[in-house]
Amino acid sequence: MAQKKTANAQKPKSHQKTPPKSAQVKKQTQKQKSSMTWLIPVAVVVVAAIIGAIFLLNQNAPASASKLPANMSISEASQRFADGAYLLDVRTVTEWNEHHIDGAVLIPLDELSARISEVPIDQDVLIICRSGNRSVDARNILRAAGLARTTSINGGINAWIGAGLPVVTGP
Closest to 67 measured CA to CA, from 139, 156, 155? 139
- In angstroms, the CA 2 to CA 146 distance is 90
Residue 151: pLDDT band with limits 50, 70, 90:
very high
DSSP state of 83: T
Amino acid, single-letter form, for residue 27: K
- In angstroms, the CA 57 to CA 121 distance is 16
- The answer to whether 141 and 154 have CB atoms below 8 angstroms apart is no
Per-residue model confidence as pLDDT tens digits over 22-32:
555 565 656 66
pLDDT for position 63: 41
Angle CA(57)–CA(60)–CA(64) in degrees, nearest 5? 110
pLDDT at 62 over 70: no
Burial label, 44 (beta-carbon count in 10 A; 0-12, 13-18, 19+): exposed
pLDDT at 13 over 50: yes
Phi first, then psi: give them for residue 50, nearest 5 degrees.
Answer: -65, -45
Average pLDDT over residues 78-91: 95
Give the range with max mean pLDDT: 5-9, 28-32, 159-163: 159-163
Higher pLDDT, 64 or 25: 25
Element (H, E) at 159: helix 156-162
pLDDT for position 55: 62
Beta bridge partners, 160, equal none
- In angstroms, the CA 86 to CA 80 distance is 9
Average pLDDT over residues 85-105: 95
Angle CA(98)–CA(102)–CA(107) in degrees, nearest 5? 70
pLDDT at 146 over 50: yes
Average pLDDT over residues 93-109: 95
Burial label, 101 (beta-carbon count in 10 A; 0-12, 13-18, 19+): buried
Q: Is 88 a catalytic residue?
A: no
pLDDT for position 60: 47
Residue 87: pLDDT band with limits 50, 70, 90:
very high
pLDDT at 69 over 70: yes
DSSP structure string for 57-70: HHHHS-GGGSPPPS
Higher pLDDT, 46 or 134: 134
pLDDT at 7 over 90: no
- CB atoms inside a 10 Å sphere around CB 157: 26
Choose, from 87, 125, 129, 153, the residue flagged as catalytic.
Answer: 129
pLDDT for position 68: 81
pLDDT for position 61: 46
